Structure 1
Amino acid sequence: MSESSVIERRAARVLVVDAAGRVLMLQGFDPADPGRRYWFTVGGGLEPGESVAEAAVRELFEETGLQITVDRLGAPVWSDVTEFPFDGRRYRQEQQWFLVRVPSLSVDRSGFDAIERATVSDVAWWSLSDFATSRDAYYPPDLPSLLRRLGVV
């Protein structure tokens, strides 16, 4: 795949953390490689004209049912750039991360779009020890150290 075939994208990611210090993770797969499952945080790409914070609030509602305002969201706690394949395409994604604390949350997946309904198979709350003992892939791979730096766990 040539460099010009990489799709540039901006995204918002949300670390949803409950009162027990666990982070909400979603399990999914790439339609081009359905046998390889992995875990990731809430979030997704920006829509045209949308700010990163607006995208985070929208994605949070669509993927969990939790409604919050941009003001409650606060400032990003981290940013990074990642590259990954998905559905036969290669993406380079600049992303900003937000932290949302909740006492608890019963996840409502009814707001999933068609691709999420087809590729997201599970949701779970992960503790720091879950990251240490899991044999499953999760993204970003340095998420446990980020959670420690943020004082989340």
Structure 2
Amino acid sequence: MTISTPPLRKAARAVVLDDEERILLLRYDENGGFWATPGGSLEDGEDHATAVLRELREELGIDEEAVELGAQLAERSKDHLVGGREVRQVEKYFLTRTPAASVDPAGATQPDNIREHRWWTLADLRTTTDTVYPLGLADLVTEVLEHGAPVRPVVLAE
């Protein structure tokens, strides 16, 4: 019996903080509904940092001039369906900072299935009963705000 591994899908995601240290999350309806950080798969020849900036522009209309791109904070691997096909997605999460006013959904070129965006406080994140990805996001952001970016990216649970 041969066990096949799903094809690899590299992705870049942004942990976006505004001037008030709030976290930007996007709401999707699929899989029972959930909130997640902005981001998506890398295009051919693209590195993770470039993909983060492109995804913020495509999904939220954020001009890259308004983004301060920081260190890679974390990584997560997860098998899931994309377009009806199972993939092994390996996501790298980068700290990004931008003013809340730079978010311009009307300027988004590829809003995908995003239902809404919202800025969350750490207290909101810790007390919500909604599903939020990645798991452990509140702890990760707390660590970054208290101690700065980790020396090595944290490995997040699926």
| Length-normalised TM-score, structure 2 | 0.79
Which consecutive unaligned segments of at least 5 residues does structure 2 have?
147-158
Q: Distance in 2 between matches of 1:39 and 1:73?
A: 22
User: Contact between 2:63 and 2:102, CA under 8 Å: does it hold in 1?
Assistant: no
AA paired with 2:97?
R
- 2:60 alignment counterpart: 64
Q: How does 1:130-145 map to 2 (within 5 A)?
A: 130-145=124-139
Alignment of 1:82-97 (within 5 A): 82-97=78-93
How far off its partner does 1:15 sit?
A: 1.0
SS at match of 1:13: strand
* Map of 2:143 onto structure 1: 149
Distance 2:143 2:74 in 1: 10
CA RMSD of aligned residues (A): 2.5
Q: Deviations over 1:83-125 (max 9, x none)?
A: 32344332211111111122323522242427x1xx2111111
**What count of residue pairs does the alignment treat as equivalent?**
144
Moved more, 3-12 or 40-49: 3-12
Partner of 1:15: 15
Task: Give the percent of matched residue pairs that are identical in Structure 1 and Structure 2.
Answer: 35
**TM-score, normalised on structure 1?**
0.81
